[in-house]
């Protein structure tokens, strides 16, 4: 039997860097209820891909900021002497109040 592959599948198999290409992307277009519109990657224009990159970059930045904030919360709680079952926010507040 012949194996049928799509251009997207061939791209994914051609390079480790392309193996994680998604089936669809979110474009800059907004749908009826304010939700981003998803488009099949195989039907996406170069501009659609650029908008998807920008949107993912914004998401990655937001995730990085949350990770950084959680790390700082954890560090402050530990510096205040908190242990695993202690409330992190309360311990971090104690740490901040001691710094004043």
pLDDT number for residue 81: 95
pLDDT number for residue 82: 96
Distances (CA, A) of 92 to 45, 64, 67, 70, 89: 48, 20, 16, 11, 5
Mean pLDDT per block of 10 residues along the chain (100 residues) reads 82 95 89 87 95 94 98 97 96 90
pLDDT number for residue 100: 75
pLDDT number for residue 36: 82
pLDDT number for residue 69: 98
Q: Which residues contact 36 (CB under 8 A, 6 or more apart)?
A: 26, 27, 28, 29, 30, 55
Instruction: Work out the burial of residue 92: count CB atoms within 10 Å of its CB; fewer than 13 is exposed, 13-18 middle, 19 or more buried.
Output: buried
pTM of the model: 0.75
Domain boundaries, the chain: 7-99
């Amino acid at each position: 039997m012949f194996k049928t592959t799509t251009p997207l599948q061939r791209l994914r198999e051609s390079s480790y860097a392309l193996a994680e290409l998604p089936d669809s992307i979110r474009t800059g277009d907004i749908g009826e209820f304010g939700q981003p519109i998803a488009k099949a990657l195989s039907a996406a224009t170069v501009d659609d891909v650029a908008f998807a990159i920008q949107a993912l970059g914004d998401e990655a930045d937001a995730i990085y900021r949350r990770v950084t904030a959680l790390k700082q919360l954890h560090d402050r709680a530990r510096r205040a002497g908190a242990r695993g079952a202690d409330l992190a926010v309360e311990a971090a507040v104690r740490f901040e109040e001691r710094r004043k």
